[in-house]
Structure formats: structure tokens, C-alpha cells
Amino acid sequence: MTPNAPLPRPARFLPTARQTLVVAVFTLLLSWLLHKMSRTPYPTVFGHIGFIGAVLLFAYSAADRLRPRWLATGKARVMAVVLAAPLAALLTAIGAQGRHFITYLSDVQTLSGYVMMVVLGVVFGVPFSLLAMRAERRERERADRLQIELEKNRLERELVDTRLRLLQAQIEPHFLFNTLANVEALVAAGSATAGPVLRHLIAYLRAAMPRLGDADATLGSELQLVRAYLELMHMRMPDRLRFSVAGLPGLEPMRFPAMALLTLVENAVRHGIDPSPCGGHIDVGGDYDAASGHVMLWVADSGVGMSETAQPGTGLSNLRSRLHGFYGAGARVDLHEQTPHGMRVELHFQPGEKK
């Protein structure tokens, strides 16, 4: 048995409340019908029929627990009902006549009444048993389907989480290696700012590393990383890079995939600002539509634009997949060229669609 397989259901010894209610209602109606047909007082008839019904119900319920292993549950229950019917009818006779029950049954009329009780017990007990077993089987099937559906949903969530972790593992070294390459170029050029830049990089990484694999990262923590990264890049090229990062107080507590905006900002620096002779400006912002719950975040740059940059690569592809994993298939990444030049990347999603 697998760890997540449903456990076998223990066999019941006592009947369920539903089974008891059904038998009680049926015995009341049958007793009333026999009372009208035989003119026997209703309490007497109900006492006999109700007792027989209770014995048959108990025999049906207990058969599964008391049956031998080689006997199937269905056969054991039917046999128990058939065997319990004459016993229950006999007990009613003993209860009514006491030690004179043998004389009571020796009379043809009373004997025929006893036989009728047995026949009624078998005629109604066996179909009721079959219907009850059919209802139990359907209930088990519904419960099994629900268990399978729950297990399927659990596996799907685990698959999404695993996929997000794999994508995160691809993004982290991609970002770190590109950042270190920028610092290496600065050091190789003999810039006097190499030392301060390196110190800022160390401080930045100390703040960023605990959050890179954080599944509970927020938009607020992401914006802090974006600001720190742009400050670092601004020290590398103070005359060529300008930037603004908007504050989004209403959105900052929202769960957000770590390094999603940072990937876009890094692309803007690497493919937009760096190749441009005169540098440019990077703008990071967002908007929220309270009526629809739609969120739009953007990273815009005034760099060289799409025509002079490479085709979207691993970073954007992984970003799309991570947004789908966080917010559902409706999340998307849109790329727009800006006038006179530059690029604007927009993230569209609804936080409430999917975890």
C-alpha cells in the first residue's frame, strides 16, 4: 500500500442512522397495513414487525464483522438476513406466549401466522439488503473519486511548486553571473569606482541571497532588490543610467515570484542601456484596478529598443512560466517598443486567480 493510498474502511458492527431510519419507517407502514388486514391491534402488530425488522437490520450490519474470511460480504449479509428471519419470528412468539409458545405454534392458524412473519422477513429483508449494499457501493465509489481528485490536486500543486523551484534555480545563477561579469569589466577597465562598486555588490548580495529562493517573497521585497540593483548599476555608469522605482503601498504585501521584476530590470540594463551610446532611463512602476482585481507592473527603458536587442531568451521564458504557476494561465508578459526608442515590458495578472 502506498503512503497516500486510502485506508481500508473498517467494517461496521452496528447499523448506520440512515439504515435505522429507513427500517423504522418501513416497519411502521407495514405494521399499519397488516393491522388493517388482520384487525389485530396496531401496537401488537408493530411490536412483532418492529422487532423482526430490528433483528434483521442488526444481522445485516453485523454480518460483515462476523463473517469468515472465505465468505464474501454480500453473500454473508444475505445469508444472515435469511437465517435471522425465522429466529426473529420465533423470538416474537416466545415473547408473546412465554413457555406456552410450543402449544401456540401447534395451532394451524397461529403457525401460518408465524410462517407469514418469516416469509415477510425474507421477502422484504433480502431486497432491502441488496438495495443497502448498492447504496453503500455507490457511496464508496463517490468517496474514492473524491479521494482520487484530492490526490490529483495535491500532485498538481507539488508539480507546480517543483517547476517553480527549478525555474528559480535557473534564474539565480543567470542573474549572479551577469552581475559579476559587469563588475569584472569595471575592474578590468581600471575604474577608480571598482572598489566602492564591489563593496556595494557584496552588501547587495548579502541582502538578496536569503530571498532568492523565498517562496513567500512579496512585491515589496522585490522592489527593494530592484532599487538596490539599480543603485549598484548607477555607480557603475553614473552618467549613463537614470532610474525611478515607484512606491506601490497597496500592492507591496502581495505575494510575488522572487526576482521576476529583477529579471526585467537586468534585461533593460544589459540589452537596453548598455548598448546605447548615450545610456538611458529605466522606469519601474505598477497599477491596480480594484474593480477587476487586475494588476499591471512594468519595466520601461529608453535604451536601444527591440530592433537592436536579441530575441527574448531564458529569462523571459522562465518569467512567463513562473507567472503562470503563481497566478494561473491568464497571467501574461507583454513587450512594447517605445517611441522614439526603448522597450516597455508589462506583467498582467490577477493575484486571486491561483496561488
Highest mean pLDDT among 182-196, 210-224, 240-254: 240-254
- Residue ranges and CATH numbers for the domains of the chain are 17-151 (no CATH), 191-349 (3.30.565.10)
Burial of 354 (0-12, 13-18, 19+ CB in 10 A): middle
User: Which residue, among 114, 4, 8, 128, has the nearest Cα to 61 in the 3D structure?
Assistant: 128
Q: Give the bridge partners for 241, in sequence order.
A: 280
Lowest-pLDDT choice from 71-75, 126-130, 293-297, 309-313? 309-313
Q: How many residues does the chain have?
A: 355
Band (97; pLDDT cuts 50, 70, 90):
low
E strand segments, 290-323: 294-301
332 and 322 in contact (C-beta within 8 Å)? no
What does the pLDDT average to over 215-235?
83
132 and 57 in contact (C-beta within 8 Å)? no
What does the pLDDT average to over 218-241?
85
- The pLDDT of residue 5: 45
- The pLDDT of residue 311: 56
- The pLDDT of residue 286: 93
- The pLDDT of residue 175: 55
What does the pLDDT average to over 10-30?
79
- Reply yes or no on whether the pLDDT at 6 is more than 50: no
- The pLDDT of residue 24: 86
Read off the pLDDT of residues 258-299 as tens digits, 9 standing for 90 and up.
878 988 998 898 888 988 888 899 999 999 988 888 999 999
What does the pLDDT average to over 35-47?
82
Cell numbers for 307, please give them. 530592433
What does the pLDDT average to over 115-130?
82
Band (347; pLDDT cuts 50, 70, 90):
very high
Share of the chain above pLDDT 90, in %: 11
Give the other-Cβ count within 10 Å of 6's Cβ.
15
What does the pLDDT average to over 222-234?
85
- Reply yes or no on whether the pLDDT at 7 is more than 50: no
Read off the pLDDT of residues 149-184 as tens digits, 9 standing for 90 and up.
888 777 766 666 655 555 555 445 555 666 667 667
348 and 287 in contact (C-beta within 8 Å)? no
- The pLDDT of residue 312: 56
